[in-house]
């Protein structure tokens, strides 16, 4: 089928899979070990039921909301994902152009295949980006990058990823190693490189090559003060998988403004919980965190109903990781725009069928979570 015939995110993944190189597919599709967390990320949404209310006027439907105080037309953001040019030459800049037309926030990966300056070059008024940091063992490299990022006006926050001090064992990616030898990495591996970038050795898989310089020694007490010294942008933490860590993050408010509950799309700790479980844990054991931090999540979002369920349970917005890469592979920046269009329309339909005209109205009364509750 063609891009225009794709009706769902799954259709786009199918089309992308046909069009992508083996190298791109094995890197994007891969997750750790037995892919259990990756599969659970999708499955968990099927265990939550919606409770639509009837007899309500749904003429209007406004999907807009705020992320860290910035207006966005949709409660969705693009999660940081490395190496978009493996999918299509439009790369991260193409994703940015698609986001512009939807007023969607994009978090740029530390390991993007274009520089942050290139990706943000055509930012529209009001378009906002976050920049994701993997702290490098050689701190000077990260400091240099932060200095560049601080100067880009459309980058409004830093997202510090903490769930992957090392990459998980991603067997699809490792098997794809032969085709992974030459990678156009720009930002972390070679901060000063141009768009054509540096070649890194992908012999152990793309993931392993990208993680080569990543620092394994980050802590609450040492890393946050260091980061604060090098940026005054708001900071969010990504990769929280327990309510205990969410409560610790809340202790660092207001320096920490938000958290992204995530298991890295199943690519870090296999059998780590889907982010929706973590969200439920926070509701049960550390509900005060909602007062201190904006809570985001990602992993396994494929349908408008998935988005709506996460929002009903208290998420401010949800992220999509692989989907935009598949959109790119299926049709460049138009592919990403088509994908966002599908998802936004699904969100609107879900809100209308629930009887909600605005994101603010979404709440726990609209979901039945009995099948995912712990005893
Ligand atoms: C990622 N992810 C990721 N996260 C991050 O903080 N920095 C990064 O550079 C990357 N790179 C990356 C590459 C690829 C190919 C994938 C699939 C994922 C994780 C990403 O931000 C997000 O947490 C997950 O992708 C969300 O799950 P879904 O939407 O892919 O199911």
Low-confidence ranges of the chain (pLDDT < 50): 179-181, 184, 186-199
For tokens 């409560």, the residue is 247
Catalytic hit among 88, 93, 264, 338? 264
- Please spell the DSSP secondary structure of 349-372, one letter per residue: HHHHHHT-SBGGG--GGGEE-GGG
CA pseudo-torsion sign 217, 236, 139, 170: positive
pLDDT, position 166: 87
- The residues near 165 (Cβ < 8 Å, ≥ 6 apart) are 214, 215, 216, 218
| CA pair distance 68, 317, nearest whole angstrom | 10
Provide the pLDDT for residue 368.
98
How confident is the model at residue 360, as a pLDDT?
97
Of the residues 35, 130, 211, 267, which should be mutated to test ligand 1's pocket, given the most ligand atoms within 8 Å of the CB? 267
How much is the pLDDT for 19?
A: 96
Quick: pLDDT tens for 259-275.
Answer: 999 999 999 999 999 99
Q: Quote the pLDDT of residue 189.
A: 41
How much distance in Å is there from the Cα of 322 to the middle of ligand 1? 7
Burial label, 120 (beta-carbon count in 10 A; 0-12, 13-18, 19+) = buried
Interface pTM (ipTM) of the complex?
Answer: 1.00
pLDDT of 196 reads 45
Confirm or reject: Cβ of 321 under 6 Å from ligand 1: yes
262 ligand 1 Cβ < 6 A: yes
- Is 264 an active-site residue? yes
Question: Among the options 11, 90, 163, 245, which is catalytic?
Answer: 163
Tell me the CA–centroid distance for residue 86 and ligand 1, in Å.
Answer: 14
Q: What is the pLDDT of residue 183?
A: 54
CB of residue 45 inside a 6 A radius of ligand 1: no
pTM of structure: 0.95
| CB-based contact 207:183 (threshold 8 Å) | no
- The confidence score (pLDDT) of residue 179 equals 47
Half-sphere exposure of 2 (CA within 13 A, CB side): 2
Six-digit token string for 344: 């936004």
Residue identifier of the C-alpha nearest atom 11 of ligand 1: 81
Tokens representing residue 353 in the block = 């069928």
In the numeric block, which tokens belong to residue 96?
Answer: 């940015």
Q: How far is CA 3 from CA 79, 99, 274, 347, in A?
A: 22, 18, 30, 20
Q: Is 298 in the pocket of ligand 1 (CB under 6 A)?
A: yes
Give the mutation target among 265, 266, 296, 339 for probing the ligand 1 site: most ligand atoms within 8 A of CB: 265
């Amino acid at each position: 089928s063609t891009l225009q015939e794709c009706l769902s995110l799954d259709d786009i993944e199918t089309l992308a899979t046909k069009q992508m190189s083996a190298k791109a597919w094995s890197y994007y599709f891969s997750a750790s070990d037995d892919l259990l967390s990756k599969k659970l990320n999708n499955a968990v949404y099927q265990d939550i039921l919606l409770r639509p209310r009837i007899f309500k006027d749904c003429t209007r439907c406004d999907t807009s909301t705020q992320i860290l105080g910035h207006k966005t037309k949709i409660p969705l953001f693009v999660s940081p994902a490395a190496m978009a040019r493996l999918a299509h030459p439009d790369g991260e800049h193409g994703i940015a152009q698609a986001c512009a037309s939807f007023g969607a926030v994009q978090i740029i990966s530390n390991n993007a295949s274009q520089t942050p300056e290139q990706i943000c070059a055509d930012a529209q008024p009001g378009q906002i980006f976050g920049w994701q940091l993997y702290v490098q063992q050689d701190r000077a490299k990260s400091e240099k990058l932060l200095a560049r990022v601080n100067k880009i006006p459309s980058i409004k926050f830093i997202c510090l990823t903490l769930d992957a001090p090392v990459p998980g064992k991603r067997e699809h990616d490792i098997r794809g190693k032969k085709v992974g030898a030459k990678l156009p990495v720009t930002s972390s591996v070679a901060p000063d490189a141009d768009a054509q970038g540096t070649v890194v050795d992908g012999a152990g898989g793309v993931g392993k090559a990208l993680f080569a310089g990543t620092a394994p020694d980050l802590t609450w007490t040492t890393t946050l003060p260091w980061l604060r010294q090098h940026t005054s942008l708001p900071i969010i933490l990504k990769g929280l998988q327990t309510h205990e860590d969410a409560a610790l993050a809340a202790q660092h408010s207001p320096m920490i403004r938000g958290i992204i509950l995530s298991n890295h799309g199943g690519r870090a700790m296999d059998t780590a919980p889907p982010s929706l479980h973590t969200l439920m844990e926070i509701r049960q054991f550390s509900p005060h965190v909602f007062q201190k931090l904006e809570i985001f999540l990602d992993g396994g979002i494929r349908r408008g109903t998935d988005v709506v369920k996460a929002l009903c349970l208290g998420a401010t917005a949800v992220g999509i990781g692989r989907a935009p890469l598949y959109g790119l592979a299926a049709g460049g920046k138009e592919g990403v725009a088509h994908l966002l269009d599908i998802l936004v329309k699904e969100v609107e339909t879900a809100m209308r069928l629930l009887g909600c005209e605005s994101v603010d109205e979404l709440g726990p009364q609209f979901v039945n979570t009995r099948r995912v509750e712990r005893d």
